[in-house]
Amino acid sequence: MTTPTASSSADPTHAPVDLSHIAPRDKAEILSQALPYIRKFHGKTIIIKYGGNAMTEPALQQDFAEDVVLLKLVGLNPVVVHGGGPQIDSALSKLGKKGTFIQGMRVTDQETMDVVEWVLGGEVQQDIVGLINSAGGKAVGLTGFDGGMIRARKLKMQDKDNPEIEHDVGQVGDIVSIDPAVVKALQDDQFIPVVSPIGFGEGNVSYNINADVVAGKLAEVLGAEKLVLLTNTPGVLDKQGKLLTDLSARQIDDLFADGTISGGMLPKIASALDAARSGVNAVHIIDGRVPHAMLLEILTDQAYGTMIRAR
């Protein structure tokens, strides 16, 4: 991933948006509309799953970093959980190895796990930390090993069509518990935690955990106000390709049953629904390809994706 690091400047091709055509009164109105949301969410935790095009396109990377810093500066507590599928695939291909997936989960043997740890806990994480720091924030990278944060065990994956069949996906983890102490300590000191989805189990074995699942569980444990999942789609689409803007638990169960939600969307939607059922006030699946989509979703009355609610 070609991303500015902490020591580099922002992408020179990403110039600030020209607002000279907007009258001062209109600019003031735009800013004032954000005030109720800033007041409502002040001091609240926002978990952000960062992935997709927003994570690989330089202009969108810069937008994301600026949005995270702005949220922190106006009094919210953003926590970033990142993926890195394309970067892992690229690293594996250099080793002559191709990624394999079962029901949206990456099959992770020991060699693949070594690559996952190097890419997620090293390269990708430090790129994100550098972006946020360059935008004026104070980011700190974490994995599940830090502070004993994410305890995991080997995932037992049942076949979605035949529960009697169990797939072996290697060192893929199922979360046993999350200790958020290190995240809370960083938040209290005005840092922005950036979490790589790597957990540990018995014998200090490391596990690759789906980033959407980590984001959802962390949102539950921290009692987050919102869970925001950045994706490469406008949100959840029906079979005709129409955006579904507001979904209940029952509607999602129906979409699972008829195959509308499948593949890589399965763990994403399942973790979002679990978070909603466990007390997270709002879960949003939004299009990370839209500049500043996250900021628009959180601090305005515009909807940029699918909202999931327990009822």
Q: What are the pLDDT tens digits along the chain (311 aa)?
A: 333 333 333 333 344 444 455 566 665 766 778 888 889 999 999 999 998 778 888 899 999 999 999 999 999 999 999 988 889 988 999 988 888 888 777 889 999 999 999 999 999 999 999 999 999 999 999 999 999 999 999 998 888 788 888 888 899 999 999 999 999 999 988 999 999 999 999 999 999 998 999 999 999 999 999 999 998 888 888 787 788 888 877 788 888 878 777 766 777 788 888 888 888 888 888 888 888 888 888 888 776 788 887 66
Whole-number Å distance between alpha carbons of 264 and 235: 13
Q: Does residue 132 sit within a domain?
A: yes
Which pLDDT score, from 0 to 100, does residue 8 have? 35
Q: Does residue 10 sit within a domain?
A: no
Q: What is the pTM of this model?
A: 0.85
Which pLDDT score, from 0 to 100, does residue 20 have? 52
Ramachandran area for residue 241 (φ above 0: left; ψ -120 to 50: alpha; else beta)? left
Q: Are 48 and 228 in contact (CB under 8 A)?
A: yes
Structural domains of the chain, count: 1
Q: Does residue 71 sit within a domain?
A: yes
Q: What is the DSSP letter of 135?
A: T
What does residue 241 show for φ and ψ, rounded to 5 degrees?
85, 10
Q: Does residue 300 sit within a domain?
A: yes
Q: What is the DSSP letter of 75?
A: T
Query: What CATH number is associated with residue 213?
Result: 3.40.1160.10
Whole-number Å distance between alpha carbons of 277 and 246: 15
Q: Does residue 16 sit within a domain?
A: no
Token pair recorded at residue 202: 């018995």
* CA quadruple 86, 159, 96, 144: dihedral sign: positive
Q: Binding-site residues for substrate, please?
A: 84-85, 106, 208
Nearest to 76 by CA among 212, 205, 222: 222
Q: Does residue 271 sit within a domain?
A: yes
Domain residue limits at 187: 47-308
Which pLDDT score, from 0 to 100, does residue 142 have? 96
Q: Binding-site residues, please?
A: 84-85, 106, 208
Whole-number Å distance between alpha carbons of 56 and 67: 16
Q: Does residue 160 sit within a domain?
A: yes
Q: Does residue 41 sit within a domain?
A: no
Which pLDDT score, from 0 to 100, does residue 282 have? 85
Q: Are 167 and 103 in contact (CB under 8 A)?
A: yes
Which pLDDT score, from 0 to 100, does residue 57 have? 86
Contacts of 81 (CB under 8 A, 6+ apart): 47, 48, 49, 50, 195, 197, 211, 214, 215, 218
Please state whether beta strands 45-50 and 77-82 pair in parallel, antiparallel, or not at all (unpaired): parallel
